[in-house]
Structure 1
Amino acid sequence: MAEPLSIAYSPCPNDTFVFHAWAHGLVPGADAPEVTFADIDVTNGLAERGELDVLKVSYAALPWVLDEYALLPCGGALGRGCGPLVLTRPELAAGPGAGDLTGRTVAVPSERSTAYLLFRLWAAKAVPGGFGEIVVLPFHEIMPAVRDGRVDAGLVIHEARFTYQQYGLHRLADMGEAWEQETGLPIPLGAIIAKRSLGAERLQALAGTIRDSVRQAWADPSASRAYVLAHAQEMDPAVADQHIGLYVNEFTADLGEEGYGAVRALLTRAAEKGLVPPLAPGALDL
């Protein structure tokens, strides 16, 4: 009997919702995996070191890991109206030079994150003077750091889109909005990857398992409710529902032509600016 696969994903509602059925052995013909919960900066690092069989990582991290891992066509986060936000305190967004981030300290969730890559593409035009220091913080620490004045601005992801006003913060820019206006494409955020050494047949079966897990979650949302809320870091249940509604969509079940096109567009544009290594031909193929 094969060893159970090891997987790492975040404790965020979209991931626990998507993977609930598989993680609990509820997908017919698929063994439950060994689950590790980790922040995206941690999972990106795990992938670069070749640890674990299956990982949720940033699409921006793919150019560094696709030799060892294959991109799966399902289970990830890609969509519209769901991009990262740049937040500041109100006093930094008012008056002369409002919103100018030149020389400012900015907190980001990971230097390999898609959020940071979108931020750098946006900032090349919006902040021609360049930043001061970039500080990497776990995503749930960024808004308190901005609020308390430890950093000047923060690049936030996940449920922060729904809660930043509770911290008294001002939305300076929406990275997803900028991306969609420029490209017309959905926003690639988080990818599911699996080790190529598993072999083509097992990778295809794994993609089927994840699709089944997604479909079970949609068919009976109440089944995953306790699992989602248990790992949602005291998140309000209504916010958890908004989070799932935004980040779990048709692209979660299958990237499709448009989803793959968005991923290629992001990584090609970034490579042209020297922000990531160029993709080898066929690198996104399963």
Structure 2
Amino acid sequence: MALKLAFSPCPNDTFVFHALVHGLVPTAPPVTVTYADVDVTNTAAQRGEYDLVKVSYAALPWLLDSYHLLPCGGALGRGCGPLLLAKDGDARRDLTGATVAVPGERTTAYLLFRLWSAGRPPARIEVVPFHEIMPGVAAGRYDAGLVIHEARFTYPRYGLTELVDLGAWWETDTGLPIPLGAVLARRGVVDPTEAAGWIRESVRRAWADPAGSRDYVLRHAQEMEPDVVDRHIGLYVNEFTADLGPDGFAAVRALLDRAAAQGLTPAPPYPVGVD
């Protein structure tokens, strides 16, 4: 029986999962794929809709009772964090009374924003589909917008300026890499050790033959230019994609421990990295 797999159409995900999706991992079962924004997978996973799923690390407190965290396949690194943007000349750096567009309530981007903004004057928050955030800020519908992924490379086209690099803030404050997206395997359905093996092999094949996944990646890249696609993959698919390792797990624990200590999320039902 095919496993239900869900991840975003972003280049880093399609690059990572290309071999698994196309039956190129000999030990893996067939999969049926759902392509969805991470804000969708965060909530759909809580309903148990997928067997393997890419979600935000910030959503783990609601998911680890039903899913194993896999040590590979996700998005975690340095210099790749969310940006808080505003229109040139309109930046309200203290955000007093500002309306801030965010890509989802359980996204890591929004959790990092909440950790960073603790003690600052509150802003009005609106959840907005990711692709609408930069045009909305540029048009004046929002005073600021929280963006991720390829927006790091494209926001100047919208006449926007960076207020805060939340990834740089996190790295300076903790010394740890930035945990963004995690891959989970459903408890009682997917063996996590086997699943980690499938995904590592899919990553290995992607790195060994980048051209093999090129058409697939570009087809799902939402009109992204090839140069931006390449930069996107180069930034978000890195050594932590192959294995979180001690620094990766420490970063995830730090994020969730801080969030729980400040009452922003529940404590995870299992210690991260220990099932």
Structure-1-length-normalised TM-score: 0.94
Give the Å deviation of 1:102: 1.1
Answer yes or no: is 1:208 the counterpart of 2:197: yes
Question: Deviations along 1:18-59, whole A, 9 cap, x unmatched?
Answer: 000000000112233100000111000111111111110000
SS at 2:18's partner residue?
helix
2:70 — aligned with what? 72
2:11 — aligned with what? 13
Give the Å deviation of 1:279: 2.3
Please list, as runs of the form range in 1=range in 2, the aligned pairs for 1:1-286 lying within 5 A after superposition: 3-93=1-91, 98-125=92-119, 128-131=120-123, 133-198=124-189, 202-286=191-275
- Aligned residues: percent identity? 65
Q: Which amino acid aligns with 2:45?
A: A
Q: Which amino acid aligns with 1:67?
A: D
Listed as ranges, the gaps of 5+ residues in structure 1 are none
Looking at structure 2, the residues matched to 228 and 124 of structure 1 have their Cα atoms a distance apart, in angstroms, of 38
Give the Å deviation of 1:197: 1.2
Looking at structure 2, the residues matched to 279 and 30 of structure 1 have their Cα atoms a distance apart, in angstroms, of 29
Give the Å deviation of 1:100: 2.3
CA contact (8 A) 1:147 1:167 kept: yes
Looking at structure 2, the residues matched to 14 and 138 of structure 1 have their Cα atoms a distance apart, in angstroms, of 19
Question: Deviations along 1:173-220, whole A, 9 cap, x unmatched?
Answer: 000000000000000000001111125xx2211110000000000001
Question: Deviations along 1:64-103, whole A, 9 cap, x unmatched?
Answer: 111011101110000000000000001222xxxx522111
Give the Å deviation of 1:283: 4.8
CA contact (8 A) 2:80 2:236 kept: yes
SS at 1:124's partner residue?
coil
Structure-2-length-normalised TM-score: 0.98
CA contact (8 A) 2:249 2:272 kept: no
Give the Å deviation of 1:280: 3.6
Looking at structure 1, the residues matched to 272 and 237 of structure 2 have their Cα atoms a distance apart, in angstroms, of 25
CA contact (8 A) 2:102 2:128 kept: yes
CA contact (8 A) 1:59 1:191 kept: yes
Looking at structure 2, the residues matched to 145 and 281 of structure 1 have their Cα atoms a distance apart, in angstroms, of 39
CA contact (8 A) 1:92 1:99 kept: no
SS at 1:197's partner residue?
coil
Listed as ranges, the gaps of 5+ residues in structure 2 are none
SS at 2:30's partner residue?
coil
CA contact (8 A) 1:71 1:285 kept: no
Any runs of at least 4 consecutive aligned residues in structure 1 with deviations exceeding 4 A, and if so which?
Answer: none
SS at 1:91's partner residue?
coil
Looking at structure 1, the residues matched to 274 and 45 of structure 2 have their Cα atoms a distance apart, in angstroms, of 18
Q: Which amino acid aligns with 1:184?
A: G
Q: Which amino acid aligns with 1:105?
A: T
CA contact (8 A) 1:70 1:285 kept: no
SS at 1:134's partner residue?
strand
